[in-house]
Amino acid sequence: MSALPPGPHGVLAARLLALAFLRNRLVPLQQLAERYGDVAFFTIRGHPFALLNHPDHVRDVLVTRHRMFHKGVGLERARVLLGNGLLTSEDAHHQRQRRLLQPAFHRDRVAGYAATMVEFAERYVSHWREGETRDISHEMAKLTLAIAGKTLFDTDVEDRADVIGSAVTQALSAFDIALMPYGERLVNWPIPQARRFRHAKARLDEIVYQMIADRRTAGAGAGRALSGPPAGDVTGRDVLSMLIAARDEDDGRGMTDEEVRDEVMTLLLAGHETTANALTWTWYLLSQHPDARARVQAEVRQVCDGRVPSLTDLPCLTYTRAVLSESMRLFPPAYLVGRRALEEYHVPGTDYVLPPRTVIFVSQYLLHKDARFWDAATEFRPERWLESDPSRHRFAYFPFGAGPRICIGEQFAWMEGVLVLATIAARWRFDLVPGQRIAVQPTITLRAKYGMRMRVSPS
């Protein structure tokens, strides 16, 4: 006989849970997992939610039965910032956009971005000085934004990095208002948090629409069918040109400025925000583990022998990649995946049945540190990634998601993360400034709540 899973019930419990989610959504998720185990059910304002906390559940929701689900409430509300882009769109529109963008992230094309990533990283840190203090979270955001602008859109955004970065920070900080009950209405109310959000979004829109206008004026080349070229076609057009030049193979219609804007905004934010956070937490962990930091520096010296890293060095930077892998295990930039059930959902391996429209959460932050699937689960041990572990559940680690909607830029992010780490580690090391507060800030991504002030020293 089927039944609802266990969980907190009653009006008071629902209100307390709603408040806890607004303060820091990771805390109530951890508490639910600790108290109720792998499956927990709760309601907030009459809306059903469930936390599924086992790798088998990740596989079932994101891979095996992915067609039973749409995006969860977080990404539904993210449309107020991102529009109807690749991250937030559904069904036929999502398939159309992903098919269009896929050639830009083909492995051969991504490989062509390597030199730009290294060049920007080398140039960016070349003016740093020994003994100065820098907010590494801010610095990594500016660097990855510049890399994303150049590689994906062939646009120099370095001169606007501070403006864009400030607007992104304001938009994400104020985004919680969109997650409140009736948040899609609250963002238009005359209240301070909503005004800050609208102002930040307007600044981002102004920059992105200007990029589109400049490219249309310059000419994006002849249109092509949305079915796109074969996977091996790696001609040199950037993503923005591809979007503007695209024509629907059925009716010949091109994309409107708003449609292009939604994809550019999504890729611009997703293409730098998550990588910046991954790098920030990696530098933090290395500052707390000097032996690992020294090993990264030694590997870079041995592999690169005094020159800047290159694409051909990637297979040899095994420990550097292991450090990044371990950082994203402990501090996954994408820490929570939400899916909304389109119909009744039977949780595999249980007698529990979730009603239609239940929002289901699976959390990288929880499963990446679950002692059932990891030895020394809360410890920083990059060595665990140097050899394959056949006993590890495939879906106990999913920093980029899984299934058909896995992050389209996964290989881009891995390459950028390793090359930027190696490039900077060859010149500098960072020591955490004592006395500052270090805490996670789970907005759309897992940010460092108070920044990350570090002292710069030669490596």
pLDDT given at position 183: 56
pLDDT given at position 224: 43
Digit-coded pLDDT (tens) for 290-316: 999 999 999 999 999 999 999 999 999
Topology classification of domain 1-83+335-367: 3.30.43
Instruction: Name which residue leads in pLDDT, 418 or 18.
Output: 418
pLDDT given at position 223: 43
Digit-coded pLDDT (tens) for 55-95: 999 999 999 999 999 987 666 667 777 788 887 888 888 88
- Give the CA radius of gyration of the chain: 22
Digit-coded pLDDT (tens) for 402-451: 999 999 999 999 999 999 999 999 999 999 999 999 999 998 889 999 99
Instruction: Name which residue leads in pLDDT, 235 or 131.
Output: 131
Topology classification of domain 84-332+368-458: Cytochrome p450 (1.10.630)
Digit-coded pLDDT (tens) for 352-409: 999 999 999 999 999 999 999 999 999 999 999 999 888 899 999 999 999 999 999 9
Residue 235 has pLDDT above 60, yes or no: no
Residue 116 has pLDDT above 70, yes or no: yes
For the chain, which residues make up each domain, given as ranges? Answer: 1-83+335-367, 84-332+368-458
Phi-psi region of 252 (alpha: psi -120 to 50; beta: other; left: phi over 0): left
CA dihedral (388, 391, 392, 393) positive or negative: positive
- Cβ atoms 276, 452 nearer than 8 A: no
CA distance 187 to 182: 9
Assign 454 to helix, strand or coil: strand
pLDDT given at position 371: 96
pLDDT given at position 232: 39
- Could you give the maximum distance between any two Cα atoms of the chain, in Å? 68
Neighbours of 145 (CB within 10 A): 25
Assign 116 to helix, strand or coil: helix
CA distance 158 to 149: 8
Number of helical (H) and strand (E) elements in the chain, helices listed first: 19, 14
Closest CA to 15 of 39, 38, 50, 46: 46
CA distance 443 to 223: 38
pLDDT given at position 345: 97
Digit-coded pLDDT (tens) for 139-182: 999 999 999 888 888 887 776 777 777 777 777 665 665 555 55
pLDDT given at position 176: 61
pLDDT given at position 214: 86
Q: pTM, whole model, 2 decimals?
A: 0.89
pLDDT given at position 230: 38
* Average pLDDT, integer, range 120-133: 95
Total residues found in the chain within this entry: 459
